[in-house]
């Protein structure tokens, strides 16, 4: 059993922390949401009054936060936890952030003699709950082996992408492709439905054809096609539109830095940006189909 500080108990972080508890580890948890902290403390974690208090004496520190600014503030800010992390502790950040931020945090931790990994995840909230996440890891190979027991308690697949920041680059590439696939899947299903096709039948056809993809088969965006996905519950929960827009923005920044063209990634970023501005920012990203299903006023009238 290890003493772990877990900071960030959102849609992904909370189930990940629960799986560490199930694996027998002792957790001190912190989140800005009192309800999220209460959910973990009810399951046996110790509720910490602050992030600083959570990391005191912890052998492992795990963070799961929304964006680069949050991670930089947590570790390197004026009220950051860097000086309060115990000597010899292992630090694993599972947030999806810029590679530059991940590298800056890793360098600051290394200056204190602390081992660190950037380990963003793929697999969604269902994977987080089931403990089947994929971890995409940047950092030293020896540090990854040290972290493997904790990652294995939360996930099924663990990939070593390379040095610090490499996990973030790989995750950004994956999420850019996911955003493009979801937008394209939504367009195809909306087009078929507009011509009178049953979207479930169309999904089955494409699932056995060359249009087959993860969004279509496991996270279908059309309401009523699939159970236990956000489209079946009004697009609540899951991976938010604003988070997808953020990740597509990271991909755009990475493309600029490498002088690399990502025209479909940029188009997807703009689509999700407009969807967010319409008021859908907190909905699951599969709700990108909603504007395609809305008929203009007077459509079909004489």
- Active site members: 171
Compute the C-alpha angle 6/9/15, nearest 5°: 90
As a whole number of angstroms, the distance between CA 136 and CA 260 comes to 22
Number of Cβ atoms within 10 Å of the Cβ of 38? 15
Q: Distance between terminal CA atoms of the chain? A: 71
> Do residues 178 and 265 make contact, with C-beta atoms less than 8 angstroms apart?
no
Cα torsion angle, 59, 26, 24, 164, sign: negative
Degrees (nearest 5) of the Cα angle 57, 63, 67?
145
Question: Could you tell me if 225 and 199 are in contact, meaning their C-beta atoms sit under 8 angstroms apart?
Answer: yes
Token pair in block for residue 244: 């997808």
Longest dimension (CA), the chain: 75
What is the per-residue DSSP string for 209-270? Answer: STT--HHHHHS--STTSSSSSGGGGTT-SSSBHHHHHHHHHHHHHHHHHHT---HHHHHHHH
């Amino acid at each position: 059993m290890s003493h772990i500080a877990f900071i960030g108990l959102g849609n992904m972080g909370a189930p990940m922390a629960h799986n560490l508890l199930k694996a027998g580890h002792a957790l001190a948890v912190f989140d800005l949401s009192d309800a999220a902290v209460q959910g973990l403390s009810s399951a046996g974690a110790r509720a910490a009054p602050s992030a600083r208090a959570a990391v005191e004496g912890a052998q492992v520190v795990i963070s799961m936060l929304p964006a680069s600014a949050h991670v930089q503030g947590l570790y390197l800010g004026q009220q950051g936890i860097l000086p309060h992390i115990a000597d010899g502790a292992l630090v694993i950040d599972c947030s999806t952030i810029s590679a530059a931020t991940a590298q800056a945090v890793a360098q600051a931790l290394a200056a204190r003699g602390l081992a660190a990994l950037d380990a963003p995840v793929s697999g969604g909230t269902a994977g987080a709950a089931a403990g089947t996440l994929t971890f995409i890891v940047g950092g030293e190979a020896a540090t990854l082996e040290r972290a493997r027991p904790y990652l294995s308690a939360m996930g099924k697949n663990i990939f070593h992408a390379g040095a610090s920041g490499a996990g973030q680059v790989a995750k950004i590439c994956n999420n850019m492709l996911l955003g493009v696939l979801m937008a394209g899947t939504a367009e195809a299903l909306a087009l078929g439905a507009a011509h009178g096709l049953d979207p479930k039948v169309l999904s089955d056809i494409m699932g056995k054809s060359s249009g087959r993809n993860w969004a279509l088969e496991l996270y279908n965006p059309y309401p009523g096609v699939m159970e236990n996905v956000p489209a079946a519950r009004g697009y609540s929960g899951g991976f938010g539109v604003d988070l997808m827009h953020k990740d597509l923005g990271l991909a755009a920044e990475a493309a600029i830095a490498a002088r690399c063209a990502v025209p479909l990634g940029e188009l997807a970023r703009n689509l999700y940006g407009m969807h967010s501005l319409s008021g859908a920012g907190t909905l699951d990203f599969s709700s990108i189909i909603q504007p395609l299903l809305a008929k203009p006023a007077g459509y079909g009238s004489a």
